[in-house]
Amino acid sequence: MVSIDGLADLWNRLLSAQPDPPALLVLLTGLAALAVVSTRLPWQIARNVVTIAHEGGHALAAVLTGRKLHGIRLHSDTSGLTVSAGRPTGPGMILTLLAGYVAPPLVGLAGAWLLGGNRITLLLWVAVALLLAMLVVIRNVYGVLSLLVTGGVVLAVSWYASPQVQAAFAYAGVWFLLLGGVRPVVELQRLRARGRMPASDADQLAGITPLPAFFWVTVFALVNLASLVFGALLLAGPLLTGAGLTG
């Protein structure tokens, strides 16, 4: 049985602010995330995290707009599918379709805000909680395994790793979500231009609104780029102050 003092210690650990990270750590984790996003094989592996956030965005928007969420499927080719029931048109369906591509960088922006306040442990635990909540609505084996592995890694880092490793992991993850939200939009438009994604989120939005699919791709791009800029500014606090550059 957990004592009151134990719960208090756990709560303090969760909400306490960690020291400012070295500026070099912020810079190197950003460069590492950029390298992953820019290279083929690392991107194909790490993109599963972006897919989890993408489908989670669809699911959350569906629930918040009153649609009935039937489940989420994650696939080994890094694609995914979120199924919900409700009106096929209207604001609820529009927001549900819109939420997918903008979710990863918006999650990254929220993470950058927490890191800006040095709430590294809180960020990691929130990530675990969100992954566990998403696990309830996963409807295929690969999806369950993806969430268990991802959540297990985050939990292990938050519980066993040193503060320095936690900081590096958290900053790398947030940088990756901010940067990794941009590439799928570029890929989406390239595939659309070749006629290979006729049922994309953008095309579905075009089908239920008077606006063309390219308009919605542009909205995705603008939201994601804005999230990247503001998130980068939040993360760059130690860089701007020069903390840790001189030892």
Question: Tell me: the pLDDT tens digits for 112-149?
Answer: 999 998 899 999 999 999 999 999 999 999 999 999 99
Q: Report d(CA 51, CA 73) in Å as an integer.
A: 10
- Given this model, what pLDDT does residue 200 score? 94
pTM score, two decimals? 0.91
Q: Which amino acid, 82?
A: T
- Given this model, what pLDDT does residue 3 score? 61
**Could you tell me which of 192, 195, 194, 196 has the C-alpha nearest to residue 213?**
192
**Three-class SS of residue 102?**
helix
Cα 225 → chain centroid: 14
